[in-house]
Structure 1
Amino acid sequence: MIFIKRNAKGEVIAASREPIGCDNSESGGWDVANGDEPEVVAFCGLLTESANPLSPSDLGLVRVLEDLIDLLIDRAVIRFTDLPPAAQAKLMERRGTREAMHRLGALDGTDDVL
């Protein structure tokens, strides 16, 4: 369960696992919310980005690292089996997802999904 506080405009300004600063008889201005509500997700996303200024570039860097690993394997610098099993599984999962997205893009004429 997640507790949130809103400002006068109704925007989420705080989130907590417990209603901070109140006893059992009153809510102290905290409302119960689901963690998957769009407003809560957006608020927590803002906190994550401000806490880690590298967050916006992380997804792009993941793709660069995948391409680098593929290049090293293609040039026989490393073998896929040299990677730890967990890394192999993640790479295979992403490759499968990317291939499925590519097939879907080819079906609707937008072949630029990768």
Structure 2
Amino acid sequence: MYIKRDDDGRIELVSRDETPKCREYLSVDSPELLAFLIEDEKGRGQAPFQASDLAFVRVLEDVIELLMDKGVISFTDLPEPAQQKVMERQSLRRRLNGLQLVSGSDEEGGVI
């Protein structure tokens, strides 16, 4: 995602594409970007914590995938609700990566 910052360095505008106003690139799982996207008038104090939680979810996805790739756990070892959530996240990730391939961005550069 491309962003524009205000005079204090805070994100004030976000775009999927680079524009004359939005030139700085941030990864879609950037805690700063996530905090901006989930921020609202009532939850300003919680936005950084929620953004951290969302970024940590990505770490857990990577750990689960690594454990399955190494044969430490099997997909079927996970409870049914966890299997459904893993499949949903994998599907969303594939769609997101497919869209990014079209736009030329490289989100996977910082993955564990």
Q: TM-score, normalising length from structure 1?
A: 0.54
- Map 1:1-114 onto structure 2 (within 5 A): 42-46=40-44, 49=46, 54-110=49-105, 112-114=106-108
For residues 102 and 67 of structure 2, the distance between their equivalents in structure 1, rounded to whole angstroms, comes to 31
Stretches of structure 1 that go unaligned for 5 or more consecutive residues are: 1-40
User: Contact (CA 8 Å) 1:73, 1:79: kept in 2 or not?
Assistant: yes
Secondary structure (helix, strand or coil) at the match of 1:78 reads coil
Change (3 A) 1:105 1:85: same
Q: Calculate the aligned-residue CA RMSD, in Å.
A: 2.0
CA drift of 1:44 comes to: 2.8
Q: For the pair shown, which has the larger CA radius of gyration, 1 or 2?
A: 1
Question: 1:60: how far off?
Answer: 1.4
How much has 1:45 moved relative to structure 2? 2.4
User: In the TM superposition, what is the alpha-carbon distance from 1:108 to its structure 2 partner?
Assistant: 2.0
Matched residues, number:
70
Greater relative contact order (Cα < 8 A, sep 6+): 2
Does the C-alpha gap of structure 1 residues 74 and 106 become closer, same or farther in structure 2, counting only changes over 3 Å? same
For the residues of structure 2 that align with 1:101 and 1:93, how far apart are their CA atoms?
12
How far, CA to CA, are the matches of 2:104 and 2:50 in structure 1? Answer: 32
**Cα displacement string for residues 6-45 of structure 1 (whole angstroms, at most 9, x for unaligned residues):** xxxxxxxxxxxxxxxxxxxxxxxxxxxxxxxxxxx71232
Moved over 3 A (4+): none
Query: Which letter maps to 2:96?
Result: M
**Cα shift at 1:87:** 0.8
